[in-house]
Amino acid sequence: MCTWILDTAANRLVDEAETEANRELMQTLYDNWAWPVTFEFLNQQGEFVTGLNSLEDFDASPLPNHEFMLNHLAEHFPGH
């Protein structure tokens, strides 16, 4: 799963979660968030696998953004 959320929204949703699974997911997203935007990639169990930050990672790559992201995903999710 790939997702993003504003840190303030994730933090609020940690407290408002109706189930423990939702609270854990929101806490995972909040814990791995970095400014300005981080694409967070989770496994099927909702565990954080890797993330890409729009400022630190994409701007530092010599590759076009789409190639950089696809290469990153292939490295962390082989065979998909």
36 pLDDT above the threshold of 70: yes
pLDDT of residue 1: 65
The range of the structural domain enclosing residue 41 comes to 2-76
Q: What is the mean pLDDT of residues 36-60?
A: 89
Cβ atoms < 10 Å from Cβ of 32: 16
Number of domains into which the chain is organized? 1
34 pLDDT above the threshold of 90: no
- With the C-alpha atoms ordered 28, 30, 48, 44, is the resulting torsion angle positive or negative? positive
44 pLDDT above the threshold of 90: no
pTM: 0.70
